[in-house]
A and B are shown apart, each in its own frame.
Chain A
Amino acid sequence: MSEILLFLVLGLGVGAVYAALTLGVVLTYQGTGLINFAAAAMAAVPMYVYEELRQGRLTLPVPWLPSFDVGHTPNWLAVATAVAVAGLLGAMTELAVSRPLRKAPPLAKVVAAVGILLTLQAVVGLKYGTVPLLRSVVLPQGVVELAGVNVAKDRLWLVGITVVLSVALALWFRKSRMGLAIQASAENERAAGFARLSPTSTGLVTWTLSSMFTALVLVLAGPATGTLSPSTMPLLVVPALAGALVARLSSLTVGLLGALALGVVQSVLQYFSQTRDWWPEWAKQGLTNVVPFLVIVVALFVLGRAIPTRGDDVRSSLPAVLVPRNRPHMVAAWSAVGLAALALTSGTYRFGVITSLAVSLIALSLVLLTGLLGQISLAQAAFAGVAGIVLSKLGDSVPFPLSLFIAASLASVAGVLVGIPALRIRGAQLAVVTLAAALTLQDFVLANPKLVSATANLIPDPALFGWNLSVRGGQEIARLPFGVMVLVIVVVASLCVGNLMRSGTGRTMLAIRSNERAAAAIGINVPRVKLAAFAASSFLAGLGGGLIGYSRGQLSADSFGVFVGLSFLAAAYLSGITSVSGAALAGVSASLGIVYVFMDRNLHLGSYYMLITGISLILTVLFNPIGLAGKTRSDYEKARARLAPRKSRTKPEARSAESSSSPALAKTPRQIGDVSLSARGITVRYGGVEAVSNVDIDVRAGEIVGLIGPNGAGKTSFVDALTGFTRSTGDVDLAGDRLDRRPAHERARRGLVRTWQAGELFEDLTVTDNVRVANETGNEALGMLRDAVRPTTPASAPVERALALMSLTDVADRKPSELPLGRQKAVGMARALAMEPQVLLLDEPAAGLDSTESLAFGEQLRRIAGTGVGCLLIDHDMHLVMSVCDRVYVIEFGKQIATGTPEAVRTDPLVLKSYLGSQSFETTEDADDAPVGKEEVGS
């Protein structure tokens, strides 16, 4: 028992180290929205400065700056200097990297953090050497007896100091003016800006303060951090990230407690795993890295949707996807280029071409998952490694290419397993999960002696129908047949990915990348698409890993480690993560790829190679976020546009002339049918607040029903409840089909479709594609397979009808952001109509429209209803509501207070008192399309 107590206390020391990093990560995220993957690498710098000062030298982290002999430095001064250096480093990082990226998408921030990590790792190696360094003891030494156990004094001091400093930091964060400003910025950066809270100030303060706080604790921690080494120190960030996720990236107090608990759990598990005979041998390997991953996974499942996405003022989205046209002559030309590169080279250069091709498959996996779907993954190298292991295990027992297919398929399974926890999160948080997964796969799978041999994991040479496809033979380093085989696989895979990008699957993925909520609202099964993408992407990575394995003749687990995964993401981003050509470029620049071989043979960058890579990454993120391929394509398009005859491209008008003449808009009499939507007892609670209370509603086919009420009455919550976007109780019945237990996308697919107050259009898609994607939902996994082979299908009739009905054919190829607000609303309507809904729920569709646009919209709404669609209209434009609606429901404070015809509602004393006042409105009786049919309105 006393031993367990000892490990509890020692674990607190480890936890204090994690806490220092965790709180730094949380604070930086709150202040800037950047998850600092480089936190531990940054903290290493002041630690080195301190250790150098203890040796009588002031050595700053600038490679070409000499050290200064300063003689004996008092301990307090050495600590203060180190902390000051940390503050300076933090401030410089904010000014040079974080601030310019303040409005950048999460992927850019993740890549920038990776760039900072690689740069600092290189700087430390160049400046302070790569030899692990023993940490100096700063705090009082000796032992103290606690409950019969001797505990090191310095650990108790460390825990005490960390807790005190953390609590002080948390109080400052919660109570001080600056702390509140940071929280406000995190909640809504744009709103905070309106309140004169400068995000640049909060960014500078959080970077500086978090760097100084982390440095102070880690300098004081001394040996509790382990030895100081540029190769292992940066990985300390993983447990810190686990603590930060437990803290929901927002609570410093929970972060402190989570990190301390993590240290204790690791310490106790380490004790049990090493000293207890019953602990299984296979579970000893990589234990300390598995624990943080499990913590992250559990935290995501428990807190998943509760982890807030910072209210960033993100104005620049991911780089635009460059959709390949896959024209046969272009495919043939590029294949010929690849073939020529193989045929005209030999030896190391041809080996470089082959490696480039194989790595391009891993980059292609990132194009699919990250570029197209927006899911950031740092685990692609690990998936490739899984395929390598499988190939080496299969040996000669399974013939090529079946062995390669099986290996890639098992990598795909690993991808799906990692993707499952990722379903509950997105953005940079997903990068955290995949980083932890990569570390776990590296230590628990790729380095597990039960799976991997310590000496040789040979991969047999491929052969097909007796044809020798081995990479080498005698003095020949890289044989042409092997290169051609790799080229064929890469071309086929690239064609498939290109097909996916220009197909319904590509549009679906881009819709998710643009707006997951809106994607679910049009019936896209977002989790299934994500898992399918993880599967397809890791399959591609597995193919790449398998080909790398064949080219080496054995599995080298180090080729698939965590840092390799980071470098793959970096290379893919540098080259252009949203295009197939970017993937090819990433392969070219990969380690052992053709550029690497060329530089190795002709330039001698030596120790500066890693530094140049890191700095290039940061500069690319800052100045060329679309990557090399994107930039080249963009420049090419510009040049082409300059040379081509000028085409007039007028600014889209608020309403095209077509609207009045389109045959699709020919006036039709409206007929009201049976009840389509019946909702009973709908109740929505947010904590202790009942936003919607026991509301009933009916909407009939062809009927336009209004739902009105003052701001905060619960109208949008009611629509959210009906469509499955918020938790609620009550029955939702759509033409006899109970929907209340179904997820949002299924309700949409069954005909209960909504539009959004804020439009929520897919900014990455054109107007046509915004509408098409709504008509292409269902069978995502099978659809992906089909689209990979046969991508192009013409737009369906409902899509054409919807575009015509909403008068959008003249702007079909434009992006929504290029259109005026009224036409953007029309795109949202067309998207909903393309799903051929039974009932359409319209959430403030007239908001922001002028009176002319509002009148035109009313006309369109009547025509939509004329097609038999039941419409529930929520709007504050009472002229619109009263003129087009057949019946109106009124709610206040979540409760229904009136229902009836517009005339009846307009004269209802309760409604007049609570909402309408003395306004007068045109009613349906005056409208020119008063319904005819078997039921009277309002009966």
Chain B
Amino acid sequence: MRTSNIAGGIALATLLAVSTACGSTDSGNKADSSGSQAKAPTIAGGKAADKTMDPVTIGFHNLEGGSISLADVRLGFEAGVNYINKQLGGVNGHPLKSINCKTDGTPEASVNCANQFVEQKAVLAVQGADFGADAMLPVLKSAGLAEFGNFPLTPGVNSAVGDAYFMQGSAQEGYAANLVQLQKLGASKAAVVLVDNPASHDTYKTVIEPAAAKLRLKAKVFYVPAQSDWTVQSATVLAWGPDAISTYVAADSLAAVPAFRAAGFSGYITAGANTEIIPQLDPSVLQKVLFSAPYYLPEFANPPARVKKDLDIFEAYTSNLPAKGSVTQRQTGFYTALMAGQLLRDLGAKNKSLTAQVVHSGLRTWKGEREPFRLNGWDCSTPTWPDTTACGAGNVYAAPGKDRVLEPLPDQPVDMSAVLP
């Protein structure tokens, strides 16, 4: 039971990073300029959904309007639904319709969304990014509605095996892959810096510590509170004398990375998916700072051709969005919509009608060859990390190169078979 309680301080931290990173910056995507609309590739062909057919309804919940607001995830999701209805034929001809429910990170708002999804007979609950999502689970479970998404942001949905399914690698994989990557780069004494919350404590004990032991890597955890002075925190960490540092501190990476460098640390630092800090930091600070992502981001150098095509579609369908916004968030939303559409098309093809129960049971065996924006496939029949809701796997590590463009490291995605429980 204890192992099933593997949590995601990392989930929180990493996704916070992804999400918050993208909150208001351009994320370095120069295509999002005023001229981008003219340059955006035109995507032709495909088949539109039949508007005369009954729509297939899904519920979409996302942080918007509270103290953390990730509106661009929704915008990307809506763009994805638009693409599905315009060019992918909807859900086997039926238009795909989403109930957009805004949450503010509180359990109350998320429960409210779950209630609405059940009441309005949604067939699937789809998460953009929602810190209150754990509170939805009893409502969804009672109604037989599955939770679906890109990444399990909170520990509850990360471990709700059989009730929730997420297309990317688990939080656990992220932590373990980090250690593997650092060891590959020569690290032997890694400091792991986590946000001070119950999930982080649990994660260190159940994932990071065992993985470090398997790798024979010396590791020590440091918990940091919110609103920290990073000069104090970095001095605390460096007092232990690490040769590499893994940070899972969400948007605080922006303060953490320069603080470690200012305190004289010159080894590798992993900063999770916080690529938004790249344009804000001096290149000298960014040396030996590693970033990871589940799929190719627009700022990655030289993506594979098939991925490039996905990125072009994404760009075409989001080019009408305001220039100021987070491309990474939009990509998250777009990806999630495409995967939800794919799921419903696959299950719709096998079943007469799509109900919550059909989708819920169909998810248990759902698998596929290639996800958007990357070359990996997915398989929901077996969690990629035990006792998690992860259907996918694989993290690509990259470091900022010339002009701060992210250059993937060799041998990606990271092979973490050695640390699997």
A393 to chain B, nearest CB (A): 14
A10 CA to B239 CA, complexed, in Å: 13
A135 CA to B258 CA, complexed, in Å: 11
B60 to chain A, nearest CB (A): 15
Question: Which 6 A-B pairs have CB atoms at the shortest separation, nearest pair first?
Answer: A553-B138, A131-B23, A556-B107, A454-B7, A231-B67, A449-B201
- The answer, yes or no, to whether A558 is at the interface (CB within 8 Å) is yes
* Contact assessment for B198 and A447 in the assembled complex, using a CB-CB cutoff below 8 Å: yes
* Contact assessment for B229 and A274 in the assembled complex, using a CB-CB cutoff below 8 Å: no
Which chain A residues border B144 with CB–CB below 8 Å?
474
Nearest opposing residue in chain B for A560, CB measure? B107
* Contact assessment for B229 and A600 in the assembled complex, using a CB-CB cutoff below 8 Å: no
Determine which of A3, A270, A275, A610 lies in contact with B66 in the assembled complex, contact meaning CB atoms within 8 Å.
A610
Interface string of A111-130 (1 = CB under 8 A from B): 00000000001000100011
Stretch at the interface among B44-52, B110-118, B303-311: B110-118
Which chain A residues border B196 with CB–CB below 8 Å?
284-286, 443
Show 26 A/B contacts (Cβ-Cβ < 8 Å), sorted by A: A3-B239, A10-B229, A11-B232, A13-B232, A14-B232, A131-B24, A132-B20, A132-B251, A143-B262, A227-B254, A231-B67, A233-B227, A271-B239, A285-B223, A286-B225, A447-B197, A448-B198, A452-B198, A455-B4, A455-B134, A455-B156, A472-B139, A554-B138, A558-B105, A559-B135, A606-B102
Once A472-B142, A552-B135 are accepted as A-B contacts, the answer to whether A121 and B223 lie under 8 Å apart by CB is no
A7 CA to B235 CA, complexed, in Å: 8
Interface string of B92-109 (1 = CB under 8 A from A): 000000000010011111
A281 CA to B223 CA, complexed, in Å: 11
Which chain B residues border A225 with CB–CB below 8 Å?
227, 229
Once A130-B67, A224-B231, A559-B107 are accepted as A-B contacts, the answer to whether A552 and B138 lie under 8 Å apart by CB is yes
* Contact assessment for B112 and A600 in the assembled complex, using a CB-CB cutoff below 8 Å: yes
Q: Name which of B66, B102, B119, B226 has the most chain A CB atoms within 10 A of its CB.
A: B226
Once A13-B229, A231-B68, A592-B108 are accepted as A-B contacts, the answer to whether A129 and B198 lie under 8 Å apart by CB is no
A7 CA to B236 CA, complexed, in Å: 8
* Contact assessment for B119 and A7 in the assembled complex, using a CB-CB cutoff below 8 Å: no
Determine which of B23, B156, B198, B240 lies in contact with A275 in the assembled complex, contact meaning CB atoms within 8 Å.
B240
Interface residue ranges, B against A (CB under 8 Å) = 4-7, 20-21, 23-25, 64-69, 102, 105-109, 111-112, 115-116, 118-119, 131-132, 134-135, 137-139, 142-144, 155-156, 158-159, 196-199, 201-203, 222-223, 225-233, 235-237, 239-240, 250-252, 254-255, 258-259, 262, 264, 277, 280
* Contact assessment for B231 and A475 in the assembled complex, using a CB-CB cutoff below 8 Å: no
* Contact assessment for B262 and A271 in the assembled complex, using a CB-CB cutoff below 8 Å: no
A610 CA to B202 CA, complexed, in Å: 33
Q: Name which of B6, B107, B197, B230 has the most chain A CB atoms within 10 A of its CB.
A: B107
* Contact assessment for B67 and A121 in the assembled complex, using a CB-CB cutoff below 8 Å: yes
* Contact assessment for A454 and B198 in the assembled complex, using a CB-CB cutoff below 8 Å: yes
* Contact assessment for A474 and B142 in the assembled complex, using a CB-CB cutoff below 8 Å: yes
* Contact assessment for B108 and A559 in the assembled complex, using a CB-CB cutoff below 8 Å: yes
Determine which of A275, A554, A591 lies in contact with B108 in the assembled complex, contact meaning CB atoms within 8 Å.
A591
- The answer, yes or no, to whether A6 is at the interface (CB within 8 Å) is yes
Nearest opposing residue in chain A for B259, CB measure? A223
- The answer, yes or no, to whether A161 is at the interface (CB within 8 Å) is no
A607 CA to B293 CA, complexed, in Å: 30
* Contact assessment for A556 and B201 in the assembled complex, using a CB-CB cutoff below 8 Å: no
Number of interface residues of A (CB under 8 A): 82
Told that A270-B233, A455-B134, A474-B143 touch, could you supply 12 new A-B pairs with CB distance under 8 A? A13-B229, A274-B237, A286-B196, A447-B197, A454-B203, A456-B156, A474-B144, A477-B119, A553-B142, A556-B107, A564-B106, A596-B108
- The answer, yes or no, to whether A226 is at the interface (CB within 8 Å) is yes
Once A274-B236, A592-B108 are accepted as A-B contacts, the answer to whether A227 and B255 lie under 8 Å apart by CB is yes
A597 to chain B, nearest CB (A): 7
* Contact assessment for B115 and A270 in the assembled complex, using a CB-CB cutoff below 8 Å: no
Which chain A residues border B102 with CB–CB below 8 Å?
606
Determine which of A141, A274, A355, A453 lies in contact with B198 in the assembled complex, contact meaning CB atoms within 8 Å.
A453
Nearest opposing residue in chain A for B251, CB measure? A132
- The answer, yes or no, to whether A288 is at the interface (CB within 8 Å) is yes
Determine which of A13, A233, A456 lies in contact with B231 in the assembled complex, contact meaning CB atoms within 8 Å.
A13
Interface string of A558-581 (1 = CB under 8 A from B): 110000100000000000000000
* Contact assessment for B142 and A129 in the assembled complex, using a CB-CB cutoff below 8 Å: no
Determine which of A7, A135, A275, A284 lies in contact with B255 in the assembled complex, contact meaning CB atoms within 8 Å.
A135
Determine which of A14, A132, A285, A591 lies in contact with B201 in the assembled complex, contact meaning CB atoms within 8 Å.
A285
Once A223-B229, A474-B143, A475-B143 are accepted as A-B contacts, the answer to whether A455 and B24 lie under 8 Å apart by CB is no
* Contact assessment for B69 and A592 in the assembled complex, using a CB-CB cutoff below 8 Å: no
B365 to chain A, nearest CB (A): 24
Once A121-B67, A449-B198, A477-B139 are accepted as A-B contacts, the answer to whether A227 and B251 lie under 8 Å apart by CB is yes
Determine which of B21, B66, B132, B236 lies in contact with A131 in the assembled complex, contact meaning CB atoms within 8 Å.
B21
Interface string of A381-425 (1 = CB under 8 A from B): 000000000000000000000000000000000000000000000
* Contact assessment for B236 and A554 in the assembled complex, using a CB-CB cutoff below 8 Å: no
* Contact assessment for B64 and A606 in the assembled complex, using a CB-CB cutoff below 8 Å: yes
A394 to chain B, nearest CB (A): 17
* Contact assessment for B231 and A455 in the assembled complex, using a CB-CB cutoff below 8 Å: no
B370 to chain A, nearest CB (A): 31
A293 to chain B, nearest CB (A): 14
* Contact assessment for B107 and A226 in the assembled complex, using a CB-CB cutoff below 8 Å: no
* Contact assessment for A235 and B226 in the assembled complex, using a CB-CB cutoff below 8 Å: yes
